Amino acid sequence: MGWIEHGERDEAPKRILWLSGPAGSGKTAIAGTIADECYKNGMLAASFFFSAFARSRSRRWKKPLIATLLYSLLQHESIAGYKEEVLAVIERDPMVFERHLDQQLDKLILEPLRKALGCSDSRTWPKVILVDGLDECQGHSEPDIGPETDDPAAGPNAQKEILAALSRACTEPAFPFCIIVASRPEPVIRHFFSTSPCPTLKVFLDNKYNPGADIRLFLEAMFNDIRRRSNLPLTWVSNEVIDLLVKEASGQFIYAATVIRFVDNPSAGPPQEQLNQLLEWRRLDHLQPFAPLDLLYARILRHSPDPILAVKWLRSLKYHGAGITSHANLHMYFRSVLESYPGQTEYILGNLASLVGLVDGHGEPRFHFYHKSLIDFLEDPHRSSDLYADVRSVNRFIADRYYRVLQARGPEPSTANPSTAPPSQDFVRAFSVFLCHFIDPHHRYTLGDVEWWLANLQEHQLSSIPAMFAVIHRQCKWYRCVPACDIWRKGILRYCTESGWRVPTTKETLRDRLEKFEFDYNLPKEFPLRPPVVEFPRPALQVS
């Protein structure tokens, strides 16, 4: 509101504000509040709220945009002379509303404003035009949307056309309005604002705005309202429950709103019973309290060109702890392991920017899940339905990626440029530690693979050797080892013998066939394969 009222006084005034953030972070709620406040104060010139979920199809198309904004502008008596100029245009060209967006903008808004400018003081005109949900604009008209859609670029092209028109309007001296655009950070919109010559103020709704406090306030107010209407005791929702729900929301208002919608549903049952079911929903396969949230997640995930692969990527990142560590080099490592060709990260996850961040505020690689509940959705087959990837398929995907990186002795080279630079020492160190966690005994290995891995282990990573010795044998039968186990154990035993390690005796080896060794990082001295002095710590899964 301060920018709307006083932004023109800034040293470098910006005519457009882009309000962005993860899915469900409250962008439309904020846009609606701003529209209401501006309307009350006589500052709202016009608004348009796109919605892919609205019953009215016109809220999914770009075609009604200029006509809707125009209608609002015509209601303002302070813009003297404007109505007459617009009516004259329509009388001369009744088909003007069928023209391209840019031409409609020129004929119906910009040219009439130029002519009306001298008829009144533009300082008395309303100040702001607001366009919400731009990412939900799906095209031009009915043939561009729905299951018959043949062109997946229809929506992004329409969004780009709208932004280009609004940006051009802001360069027109006769156009005195500032513009607010609210949307998810979809690739085409991000790219437009990063390259637009029109100065833009960008507001991204992340944790620096302390959404947790607002979500807590919202939950407390709504639970109190339910309590009053249902004659419940003051303590019907404990502080511990509120704390849990705020944590689960992970900054996203859609989670909190979904919780209230589920609890406050008289047709489903009493509020206390609904709340109890909600808190136990993971154990109730038939219960889906988060259906609206799941619909949103599923819809966004399908924007990826390969949704199932995107799901495997997201779950792989979770297994690697990508949502926990803030180490930029380690995030670059995750990317290098998962990519089968350079740029695949942007291809697979680029359209999911409202669910997962790919870089931090400084542009450094950092995978960040905006929604804690997204992982719950991905790991529950009842919620994710046909987007579900089971644990076995995810583990197989990760193991296959590690196998291919091992064969390439680093990140896979581009087919267009096979002579890529050798992997960095940071990458090799991290890969050497992670490999024993994601080794697949069913792949074909050579002694050269084992020797390369051993040669790249650092002194503080030597605990990975007995760990690998145990892991590679897990899927062997008592009467026969898989070929990979023979190769890896042969290479490891040769290395350890030459390095003076204590190696398993014949009796221990025979017992290992029936009762497989398990390596405990906390009890390394009890494992039959160990160096002369056992002092190695458990390796940290991070880049040094």
What CATH number does residue 48 fall under? Answer: 3.40.50
- Same domain flag for 271 and 165: no
Task: Note whether 382 and 318 are within 8 A (CB).
Answer: no
User: Minimal CA–CA distance to 105: which of 164, 57, 61, 60?
Assistant: 164
Q: Is there a domain that residue 444 lies in?
A: no
User: Minimal CA–CA distance to 512: which of 492, 491, 523, 528?
Assistant: 528
Q: Is there a domain that residue 296 lies in?
A: no
Provide the pairing of β-strand 365-369 with 356-359: antiparallel
Q: Which helix (H) or strand (E) holds 315?
A: helix 307-319
Alpha-carbon gap, residue 328 to 314, rounded angstroms: 17
DSSP string of 234-285?
A: TTSS-HHHHHHHHHHHTT-HHHHHHHHHHHS-TTT--HHHHHHHHHTGGG-T
- Same domain flag for 354 and 498: no
Lowest mean pLDDT among 198-202, 254-258, 360-364, 433-437: 360-364
Alpha-carbon gap, residue 80 to 84, rounded angstroms: 9
Alpha-carbon gap, residue 140 to 137, rounded angstroms: 9
For residue 543, what pLDDT is reported?
36
Alpha-carbon gap, residue 323 to 327, rounded angstroms: 11
Alpha-carbon gap, residue 360 to 97, rounded angstroms: 43
The one-letter amino acid at 473 = H
Write phi, then psi, for 477 (nearest 5 degrees).
-85, 160
CA distances from 228 to 219, 231, 232, 236, 245 (A): 14, 5, 7, 11, 21
Rounded to an integer, the average pLDDT of 123-134 is: 94
- Same domain flag for 200 and 277: no
Rg of the chain's alpha carbons, rounded to an integer?
30
For residue 207, what pLDDT is reported?
75
Examine the fold and report which residue of 438, 467, 497 is the final residue of a domain before the chain moves on: 438
For residue 356, what pLDDT is reported?
86
- Token pair for 266: 């008289």
- Same domain flag for 276 and 345: no
Write phi, then psi, for 171 (nearest 5 degrees).
-90, -5
- Token pair for 278: 């909600």
Question: Structurally, how many domains does the chain consist of?
Answer: 4
- Same domain flag for 228 and 134: no
Q: Does the pLDDT value for residue 286 go beyond 80?
A: no
Task: Note whether 337 and 417 are within 8 A (CB).
Answer: no
- Same domain flag for 115 and 219: no
- Same domain flag for 41 and 184: yes
Alpha-carbon gap, residue 314 to 349, rounded angstroms: 9
Q: Is there a domain that residue 82 lies in?
A: yes
Condensed to tens digits (0 to 9), the pLDDT of residues 52-110 reads: 766 677 888 899 999 999 999 999 999 999 999 999 999 999 999 999 999 999 999 99
Examine the fold and report which residue of 204, 227, 246 is the final residue of a domain before the chain moves on: 204
CA distances from 22 to 26, 226, 299, 317 (A): 9, 28, 14, 18
Lowest mean pLDDT among 7-11, 36-40, 157-161, 214-218: 7-11
- Same domain flag for 129 and 264: no
Q: Does the pLDDT value for residue 542 go beyond 50?
A: no
Condensed to tens digits (0 to 9), the pLDDT of residues 481-502 reads: 999 999 999 999 999 999 999 9
For residue 88, what pLDDT is reported?
95
Q: Which residues pair with 130 in a beta bridge?
A: 47, 180
DSSP for residue 44: E
Condensed to tens digits (0 to 9), the pLDDT of residues 330-378 reads: 788 888 999 999 889 999 998 888 788 888 777 777 888 877 778 888 9
Q: Does the pLDDT value for residue 148 go beyond 50?
A: no
Its domain, for residue 252, covers 211-287
Collapsed DSSP state (helix, strand, coil) of residue 117: helix
Alpha-carbon gap, residue 488 to 510, rounded angstroms: 17
Q: Does the pLDDT value for residue 13 go beyond 80?
A: yes
Q: Is there a domain that residue 446 lies in?
A: no
Alpha-carbon gap, residue 362 to 254, rounded angstroms: 27
Q: Does the pLDDT value for residue 256 go beyond 80?
A: yes
Three-state secondary structure along 69-94?
HHHHHHCCCCCCCHHHHHHHHHHHCC
Spatial strand order of the sheet with 178-183 comes to: 44-49, 128-132, 178-183, 16-20, 200-204
**CA angle at 296 for the pair 293 and 302, rounded to the nearest 5°:** 140
Q: Where are the beta strands (DSSP E) in 89-143?
A: 128-132
For residue 326, what pLDDT is reported?
54
Examine the fold and report which residue of 389, 412, 438 is the final residue of a domain before the chain moves on: 438
Task: Note whether 423 and 386 are within 8 A (CB).
Answer: no
Task: Note whether 519 and 469 are within 8 A (CB).
Answer: yes
Alpha-carbon gap, residue 540 to 437, rounded angstroms: 13
With tokens 């043949």, the residue in question is 150
Q: Is there a domain that residue 283 lies in?
A: yes
Share of the chain above pLDDT 90, in %: 53
Q: Is there a domain that residue 458 lies in?
A: yes
The one-letter amino acid at 80 = A
- Same domain flag for 519 and 377: no
With tokens 């992970």, the residue in question is 250
Write phi, then psi, for 534 (nearest 5 degrees).
-90, 100
Collapsed DSSP state (helix, strand, coil) of residue 497: helix
User: Minimal CA–CA distance to 434: which of 453, 409, 408, 448?
Assistant: 453
Q: Is there a domain that residue 447 lies in?
A: no
DSSP for residue 179: E
Condensed to tens digits (0 to 9), the pLDDT of residues 204-236 reads: 988 778 888 989 999 999 999 999 999 999 989
pTM, rounded to two decimals: 0.69
- What spatial distance separates the first Cα and last Cα of the chain, rounded to whole Å? 46
- Same domain flag for 15 and 72: yes
Collapsed DSSP state (helix, strand, coil) of residue 378: helix
Write phi, then psi, for 369 (nearest 5 degrees).
-80, 120
For residue 141, what pLDDT is reported?
55
Q: Is there a domain that residue 54 lies in?
A: yes
- Same domain flag for 33 and 49: yes
For residue 149, what pLDDT is reported?
45
Q: What is the mean pLDDT of the chain?
A: 86
For residue 433, what are the contacts with CB-CB under 8 A and spacing of at least 6? 461, 464, 539, 540, 541
- Same domain flag for 140 and 11: yes
3-state helix, strand, coil in the chain (%, to 5): 55, 5, 40
DSSP for residue 171: T
Q: Which helix (H) or strand (E) holds 358?
A: strand 356-359
For residue 291, what pLDDT is reported?
75
